[in-house]
Structure 1
Amino acid sequence: LERLKMVLAVLPDSKLIAELYKIRGNGRNDWPCEAMWNSFIASFLFEHPTTDALLRELRRNSQLRKLCGFQPKCKKQPDGAYKIYVAPSKSAYSNFLKNLMACQEELDRMFDALVEFMYENLEGFGEHLMADGKAIQSYATKLSESQKSGGRGEHDANWCKKTYTSSGENGEKKVKTVKWFGFRLHLIAEARYEMPVAFKVTKASNSERTENQNLLKTMKEEKPERIKKCEYMMEDKGYDGTDHITWLEQEGIKPIIDIRNCWKDGEETHRYQDTDLVYDYKGTVWYVNEAEERIKLAYKGYDKSTDSLRYGFKPQYQDNRIFRIKCEEDRRIFTPVARQSYKWKRLYNERSGIERMNGRIDRDYKFEKHTIRGLDKMRMFLTVSFIVYLGMAKAKIERGQKEHLCKLYA
């Protein structure tokens, strides 16, 4: 209950409540919109997997009802007897969720206001961003053939098949295929604080790279200062592509993106122009001497004036020559932060934060096993999940706490 008080006190929800009353209009007003909204927030904090579980807790827990704002209702029955209701019925709560889905724009504004709070109150927030796509399986297993099924049928989800390729200890390729029916969450998050910055929910088959690029372009149009503040973007090899990397570099963002082997000629190395240097698709560079021996070169830094990477011999060779490879040779391979540098590896390790965020979405917010159907409802539930995620962090910050901000628990 203390956690719920913390979160409710910091949420900028006044406009949302006003919109909910506007939608309700002259309809039944048995249960205040504030109480319904507060209880919905409580369902995320207390990890209730379904609406039924929340309603059972409300009927049992008088302290929770009081904190949310519910007052008992006494109604006369057809037989003349009186019955006391202490919590909403399932149908009343379903109507509330339907009205809340119509308030998606207000929910989006709440989410953005909380993200803006993080930019203003956390040092360096937004300098290191990371992106990933997350599969969210539908509660259903196929599209509903009947339009009469309404909210009980799945009419929006589709199938997606994703193939993962990795290399074994002996260099052999291992292929793993994952197939699911449902939706996909496209998420951009702050790497060091592990907090969401922007997201989009689509059908499962939508391209991760395309939707991620759309999110970044929208951010540039609506919040250009956030793009300007970003220094590094960490992503896995699914986002590897010349067009995406070029766009990031044009915006002053250094791409830290794992690479796919797109060489079709079967060669292990390519020669750099008309020189004695060769390189592989991962960006490792060698010098080939007169005896046709390859000597691995050490990375010496990025030369911004010529947009090139500097390489040289290791100390034991007693050779002070410096070689430059222009990034335009292949912008996927030669990025401003060299792939073979310790800095690249350190920054790419920060991307593991988004895997932890995905785990919290599944584990703490119950999306691993849910009963949500429909794209609009899925979007609404995920938006409120991130509002609770950021709301808990804001409450901790206002109390002077700067550690464990991304955890659901205080």
Structure 2
Amino acid sequence: MCRSFKYHQKTKHRGVILIYIRQQCLFSFEELIKFQPETKLSMVFKTLDLSKVVGGLQKKSKSGPKGYDPENILRALLAKRLENIKYTKTLVERLKSDPVFRYTCGFPVASRIPSEATFSRFTKILSDKLGSLEAILEELVVRAKELGIIDGEHIAIDTSKLDSYDASVPRSRVIHDGEHPDWGSKKDTHGNQVRWFGWKIHLAVDTKSELPVAVNVTPASVNDGTMAVPLVEDIKQRYSGIINPKFYMMDMGYDFDHIYRTIHDRYNAQAIIPLNHRGAYASPEGLGWDGTPLCSMGYQMTYWGYDNGSFKFRCPHMTGKVNCPMGTNWCSSSNYGAVVKKKISDNPRYFTYPRRGTAEWQELYNERTSVERTFARLKENLGLNNITVRGIRKTKVHVLLSCIAFVAGTITVNTSKESERAA
């Protein structure tokens, strides 16, 4: 459909005059795209407020991408994760060849496309604004909580390896300043020892939604246990009064006294972690390997429930668990048998609620696998493994963008389903 004739062009072919009429389109591409079904990408971008990151960026940056709207570049970097585009080169080619994709990211259809170098410089700028990216993730998590997507009472914590884009170096040449990659080693889910050069991602995940709520990046040599409490503190500082975890699930690598004590004393929550005896030849004095008190004859006492803030243990002979040669009189003259009570505050590592060995404790611990599924989705579907940047700050940008894309995408899917059901 045309608005008017723009001009006539005459040519002569075999004595016949041919007239070509060039017409002006009634609608521009930008107007036509509005009649197309809304794309998944545009729906995700509607959930994001990027102003905190890009506000005033063009004015302050001298080496940045002059002539390009920084918000459009940031959208393109997020689209790279959401579309699982592996390389920046491929992203640039997609922007050039796909006008709908280009328009969705915010670039005018007839404009030039940022180069790979432009995206690289912009990533450097973002590495100086990590707090702003963290604020976007925080706002998305709060919104997911308000929508009922995130529950926030059960949190799983774990780490995952991330290979460095920097070339590996011998251990003797590693720079231990917290800014450079390092050699790491840990067992995978199958019990195999894995070594890599690069980084370690520390993640806290809501077990109901399997969405990340706190994240950090360190050199690969950093011990898992040293980063658990910082993640717990980060959740408390960012989401106080909004997300109040009751249980923190972690694997055996986090079995340290200070983690239990901090979570119990400071945050009034419970760490659910299997005991790691680390090659000990004997159990703690007066306790069994699982933290159960021992009677004077050395038998494990019988757990008899949780009563008024204390765990109750009874004589194993009286409860029929063992046939003690001394009977009950050795420990107590009561016909009820000897009783021992322990509070969680006595030793939060050994005395947990629910009690170790119970079905309730095991059910909570099984939720820990949610963090493994989160890592799998981030790596397989949201480009977390496709790292093409160097240095820990740029690596954090890379990780945060994947997490932001994950939470924003989940919110979009859930709100879209709610709208369909309401219709």
Pair 1:371 & 2:388 matched: yes
Identical columns (%): 25
CA distance in 2, matches of 1:322, 1:363: 56
Give 1:100 shift.
Answer: 2.6
Cα deviation, residue 129, structure 1: 0.9
Deviations 1:283-322 (CA, angstroms, capped at 9, x unpaired): 4678798xx9x6884x4422243x3244687999499768
Instruction: Return 5+ residue gaps in structure 1 as ranges.
Output: 74-84, 145-154, 167-174, 273-278, 403-410
Distance 1:329 1:295 in 2: 18
Q: 1:67 to 1:164 in 2, by over 3 A?
A: closer
Q: Does 1:232 align with 2:247?
A: yes
CA contact 2:387–2:395 (8 Å) conserved in 1: no
**Equivalent residue number for residue 392 of structure 1:** 409
Instruction: Provide the residue aligned with 1:308 in structure 2.
Output: 311
Whether the 8 Å CA contact 2:103–2:109 is kept in 1: the answer is: no
1:331 aligns with 2:348: yes
Which residue of 2 is the match for residue 60 of structure 1?
Answer: 97
Which of 357, 364, 368 is matched with 1:340 structurally? 357
Counterpart of 1:138? Answer: 164
Within a 5 Å distance, the mapping from 1:240-259 to structure 2 comes to: 240-250=255-265, 251-259=267-275
- What's the offset of the Cα at 1:26? 10
State the Cα distance separating 1:14 from its structure 2 match: 2.1
The 2-side partners of 1:163 and 1:311 are apart by 39
Q: Any conservation in 1 of the 2:228–2:259 contact (CA below 8 Å)?
A: no
Aligned partner of residue 139 in structure 1, secondary structure: coil
Q: Which residue is 2:152 aligned to? A: 126
Q: Distance in 1 between matches of 2:189 and 2:414?
A: 41
Per the normalisation by structure 1, the TM-score is 0.77
Counterpart Cα distance in 1 of 2:189 and 2:80: 39
Q: CA deviation at 1:6?
A: 1.2
Secondary structure of 1:225's partner?
A: coil
Match of 1:215 in 2: 231
The question of whether the paired residues in 1 share the 8 Å contact of 2:65 and 2:122 is answered with no
Match of 1:42 among 79, 84, 87: 79
- Which letter maps to 2:288? D
The residue type paired with residue 76 of structure 2 is S
Q: Answer whether contact 2:378 2:384 (CA < 8 A) is retained.
A: yes
CA contact (8 A) 2:156 2:207 kept: yes
Secondary structure of the 1:115 match is helix
Distance (Å, rounded) in 1 between the aligned partners of 2:415 and 2:307: 43
Length-normalised TM-score, structure 2: 0.74
Alignment of 1:285-324 (within 5 A): 297=302, 299-305=303-309, 307-310=310-313, 317=320, 323-324=339-340
State the 1:12 CA deviation.
1.5
The one-letter amino acid of 1:232's match is: F
Instruction: Name the CA distance, whole Å, in 1 between partners of 2:84 and 2:413.
Output: 19
How many pairs are equivalent?
Answer: 359
Distance 1:374 1:26, change over 3 A: closer
How many angstroms apart in 2 are the aligned matches of 1:316 and 1:221? Answer: 47
How far apart are residue 220 of structure 1 and its match?
Answer: 3.5
Instruction: Specify whether residues 97 and 26 from structure 1 end up closer, same or farther in structure 2 by C-alpha distance, changes over 3 A only.
Output: closer
Q: Distance in 1 between matches of 2:58 and 2:314?
A: 65
How far apart, in 1, do the equivalents of 2:399 and 2:64 lie? 28
For the structure 1 residues 92 and 242, does the alpha-carbon distance in structure 2 shift closer, same or farther, using more than 3 Å as the test? closer
Other structure's SS at 2:357 match: coil
Q: Which residue of 2 aligns with 1:91?
A: 117
Q: Give the distance between the partners of 2:65 and 2:193, measured in 1 at CA.
A: 50
Counterpart for residue 280 of structure 1 = 288
Contact 1:303 1:310 (8 Å CA) reproduced: no
Deviation at 1:2, TM superposition (A): 1.6
Partner of 1:190 in structure 2? Answer: 206
Give 1:211 deviation, angstroms: 1.7
Distance 1:203 1:25 in 2: 31
* Distance in 2 between residues matched to 1:18 and 1:47, nearest whole Å: 27
Larger Rg: 2
Instruction: Report the CA distance shift for 1:6/1:222 in structure 2 as closer, same or farther (over 3 A).
Output: closer
Aligned to 2:351, what secondary structure does the other structure show? coil
Which residues of structure 2 form unaligned runs of 5+? 1-37, 171-178, 322-334
| Per-residue deviation, 1:102 | 2.8
